[in-house]
Chain A
Amino acid sequence: MMKKSNREIIMLFFVLVGGITSQLTAQDKYLDKNGIIIFEASEKLFEEVKAMNESATVILNTETNQIASLALMKGFRFKNSLMEEHFNENYIESETYPKATFKGKLIDFNANDLNEKNTEVSVEGVLELHGRKKQIDTKLNMQKIGNIISMTGEFITTPNDFDIKIPKIVRNKIAKEVNVKFDFKLKKK
């Protein structure tokens, strides 16, 4: 009799602890499955070189301030289908390198300080695509409305950073610098 109730107490304890910890971890995560990433490398007078991905994944852990993002290369859509084909086959080689990832950390950030006003937050991390890595440090504009954290920003990178070769015949039609913009709406998980 004694043994049984002991066991029940122990089990109850584990259920409670388990419940509390899972709730804690669940509360600390914000998620966006439909993050928008746009990159543009257009040159004046030439056709725009621009693509958009509307299903990037972003996870923000507001306890550790760690952020992770993933975009599938095949998810980038161009206005011009031939450009999309060349992007996948010749430049980004999406069959070999299907995704781009960013893993980083928000600096001096406290999620509790966020409100409806725009707050500038620094982020530092590593962008990996085409099998190469590059340190990216930039600023984010963040605000919180209800349970949603909005995060927008941009940075500049180059094809060279990721060892992406641009053939001579199109070199003057593609900008040396690529502007990357993103717009994430993260919901509490």
Chain B
Amino acid sequence: MKGKKPYILLSIALLLIVLSIITYNYMYKEHRNIATENVSFNVSASTLNSDLSLPDKASKYIDKVVQVHGTVTAIEQNDVVIDDKVQVSFIKNVTSGLSTQKKITIKGRCVGYDDLLELVKIDQATLIHDN
């Protein structure tokens, strides 16, 4: 009987370690990686804007990964505006290679609708292509 004691202690210790790893991973789980997530919606900038302006339709896009295409109408620091309808914030600095009038496709997280500027906001974006 006495010989079993170390094993019991050992298994309790192991169990505690496993539990704390699980808890730690739950509490400090990684942020989403929008760049590698699958695209949920592939739409034009104007479609996204008109859908987001309607509360009923907006909810299906919020926090989802969207792919948006259109023409660059403004560039500001690390942001571009597509068709005056969608404001895109990139993860990495890519705006230096872009210019207005360029057609682009981006992928990012749909943050929501800004009704002051009537603009959809997208963050954590990556450039899919420009031509």
Q: Which residues of A contact B (CB under 8 A)?
A: 31, 33-34, 54-55, 57, 59, 68-70, 72-75, 80-82, 84, 95, 98-99, 101
User: How far is B123's CA from A95's CA once the two chains are assembled, in angstroms?
Assistant: 17
B28, B29, B63, B89: the one contacting A74 at CB < 8 Å is: B63
User: How far is B62's CA from A95's CA once the two chains are assembled, in angstroms?
Assistant: 8
Contacts A/B (CB < 8 Å), 23 sampled: A31-B117, A33-B76, A33-B87, A34-B76, A34-B77, A34-B79, A54-B89, A55-B87, A55-B89, A57-B119, A59-B117, A68-B116, A72-B111, A72-B113, A73-B112, A75-B121, A75-B123, A81-B31, A82-B26, A82-B28, A84-B31, A98-B113, A99-B115
Is B30 interfacial (CB-CB < 8 Å)? yes
Is B9 interfacial (CB-CB < 8 Å)? no
The residues of A that contact B89 with a CB separation of less than 8 Å are 34, 54-55
Is B47 interfacial (CB-CB < 8 Å)? no
Interface size for B (C-beta < 8 A) is 26
- Give a binary string over B20-33; 1 marks a CB under 8 Å from any A CB, 0 the rest: 00000011111110
Is B93 interfacial (CB-CB < 8 Å)? no
Would A55 and B76 count as touching, CB distance under 8 A?
no
The residues of A that contact B99 with a CB separation of less than 8 Å are none
Is B114 interfacial (CB-CB < 8 Å)? yes
Contacts A33-B79, A54-B89, A98-B62 given: A72-B112 contact, CB under 8 Å? yes
The residues of A that contact B115 with a CB separation of less than 8 Å are 70, 99
User: How far is B28's CA from A155's CA once the two chains are assembled, in angstroms?
Assistant: 30
User: How far is B48's CA from A69's CA once the two chains are assembled, in angstroms?
Assistant: 22
User: How far is B62's CA from A183's CA once the two chains are assembled, in angstroms?
Assistant: 26
- How far in angstroms is the closest Cβ of chain A from B92? 15
User: How far is B30's CA from A84's CA once the two chains are assembled, in angstroms?
Assistant: 11
Would A95 and B59 count as touching, CB distance under 8 A?
yes
User: How far is B63's CA from A73's CA once the two chains are assembled, in angstroms?
Assistant: 11
For the complex of A and B, list the 9 residue pairs with the smallest distance between their C-beta atoms, beginning with the closest. Answer: A72-B112, A81-B31, A70-B116, A74-B111, A75-B111, A57-B116, A72-B111, A98-B112, A57-B114
Which residue of B is nearest A185, CB measured?
B77
The residues of A that contact B76 with a CB separation of less than 8 Å are 33-34
- How far in angstroms is the closest Cβ of chain B from A31? 8
Which residue of A is nearest B78, CB measured?
A34
User: How far is B32's CA from A59's CA once the two chains are assembled, in angstroms?
Assistant: 31
Would A74 and B117 count as touching, CB distance under 8 A?
no
User: How far is B27's CA from A74's CA once the two chains are assembled, in angstroms?
Assistant: 20
Would A81 and B29 count as touching, CB distance under 8 A?
yes
The residues of A that contact B27 with a CB separation of less than 8 Å are 80, 82
The residues of B that contact A101 with a CB separation of less than 8 Å are 116
Which residue of B is nearest A58, CB measured?
B116
The residues of A that contact B29 with a CB separation of less than 8 Å are 81-82
Q: Pick from A34, A68, A73 the residue with the most CB of B within 10 Å.
A: A34
Would A55 and B116 count as touching, CB distance under 8 A?
no
The residues of B that contact A74 with a CB separation of less than 8 Å are 62-63, 111-112
